[in-house]
Structure 1
Amino acid sequence: MLLLTMIARVADGLPLAASIQEDEQSILDKPFWQSQAKQLFRKLNEQSPTRCTLEADTMSFHYIIEHGVCYLVLSEANFPKKLAFAFLEDLHSEFDEQYGKKVPTVSRPYCFIEFETYIQKTKKLYTDSRARRNLGSINTELQDVQRLMVANIEEVLQRGEALSGLQGEQLTICPVCLRNTPRRKYLNMRSTYAKLAAVAVFFIMLIVYVRFWWL
């Protein structure tokens, strides 16, 4: 489940838009998670990882940074990372088109709060079980979610400095940010072949099962 979504300006952490899953019972302390998100925004700068997952017990924060704007979502820890980041990429595309040119000049918090309507609509697409089955061919740069930087939210927020230069430190589990490199293209291609092989094996097993059943 995608629970809390927030969009903020990286330069000063100014919240631009937000949305909370009001009917979700598992997120009991909404002010706490909002506070965690705002603290994280204040840790970001131009050197921060542009794609990152921050683990928080049974929850996970996922964020992307594009054109000086951070798109962040809080999800249950077992929610697929690929879908969470595809959701953020979707928000980025729409938000940047509507408000991208206005972001550097605004000074009032949540001045694009009307964007919540789009957030809620998109959230339903990525959380509805029937819709999720149709998202297997998501067009996103985050196909290889295993290469995302992963850290612990408490350790990050306790640091005195900004969230940057995490590579090589103990709190980083997988300190490789995504880049458009030949290595990433190779991994994406290998991942695609693995998925095709899995589908082929499934159909072969299905055929064998059907033949065995009717014999």
Structure 2
Amino acid sequence: MVKLTMIARVTDGLPLAEGLDDGRDVKDAEMYKQQVKALFKNLASGHNDASRMSIETGPYIFHYIIEGRICYLTMCDRSYPKKLAFQYLEDLKNEFERVNGPQIETAARPYAFIKFDTFIQKTKKLYQDTRTQRNIAKLNDELYEVHQIMTRNVQEVLGVGEKLDQVSQMSSRLTSESRVYADKARDLNRQALIRKWAPVAIVLGVVFLLFWIKTKLW
């Protein structure tokens, strides 16, 4: 069954639309949504250049197509036919381009086309039952083949991005720690100076006090 559907712009990873009730029946749904966002981020960074791909993640598979710099992605059970998943995405792509057209490139806020959820829900219902005559016909359609579409593992696909994030986090942590070290070093130097000159300051204070008393007595 289709579990999750998301649409994003490849150039910057901006999410444009999503199935609003997606993930309600999926354990750890937020984790999978985070994986999708990481995938969109990788695509925006140019880490993956395949226009069609299947990505295994736990008991599910992400399927996506990229057309016109827009990524259409769905997450399905592993048992769900690959051919139906990609035909589902093709239907979404055709309608999304037809309805939104030139507005896609100028969208500036996340989920600018959230109203497209209506079409997502309607289309998803058509593809849920693989035994309907309609879907059986699509499975038997020899004009639409998916054998050449690569299947990879989510760790393999997101590995490059995760390593870059780790390097970035390590760099930020080292910068922060170096600042803390510099502050501590300044404090230690200040304390050392105080300890070094404190006796001198005390002696000078006593001398000044005695001089002041002496002048008062005279």
Q: TM-score normalized by structure 1?
A: 0.68
The DSSP-based 3-state class of the residue aligned with 2:135 is coil
List gaps (5 residues or longer) in structure 2.
Answer: 163-218
1:36 aligns with 2:39: no
How many equivalent residue pairs?
Answer: 160
User: 1:82 touches 1:142 (CA, 8 Å); kept in 2?
Assistant: no
**1:175-186 alignment runs, 5 A limit:** none
For 1:21 and 1:129, how far apart are their aligned partners in 2? Answer: 20
Match of 1:14 in 2: 14
* Structure with the bigger percentage of helix: 2
User: 2:88 touches 2:123 (CA, 8 Å); kept in 1?
Assistant: yes
Shift of 1:48: 1.2
The DSSP-based 3-state class of the residue aligned with 1:150 is strand
Shift of 1:143: 2.3
**Cα gap change, 1:73/1:23 in structure 2, threshold over 3 Å: closer, same or farther?**
closer
User: 1:3 touches 1:20 (CA, 8 Å); kept in 2?
Assistant: no
CA RMSD of the aligned region, Å?
A: 2.5
- Report sequence identity in percent: 45
Shift of 1:29: 1.4
For 2:51 and 2:7, how far apart are their aligned partners in 1? Answer: 14
**Cα gap change, 1:22/1:66 in structure 2, threshold over 3 Å: closer, same or farther?**
closer
Shift of 1:120: 0.5
1:108 aligns with 2:116: no
User: 1:55 touches 1:152 (CA, 8 Å); kept in 2?
Assistant: yes
User: 1:2 touches 1:21 (CA, 8 Å); kept in 2?
Assistant: no
1:79 aligns with 2:80: yes
**1:36-185 alignment runs, 5 A limit:** 36-45=35-44, 48-129=49-130, 131=132, 133-138=133-138, 143-160=144-161
Q: TM-score normalized by structure 2?
A: 0.67
For 1:142 and 1:104, how far apart are their aligned partners in 2? Answer: 31
Shift of 1:135: 2.6
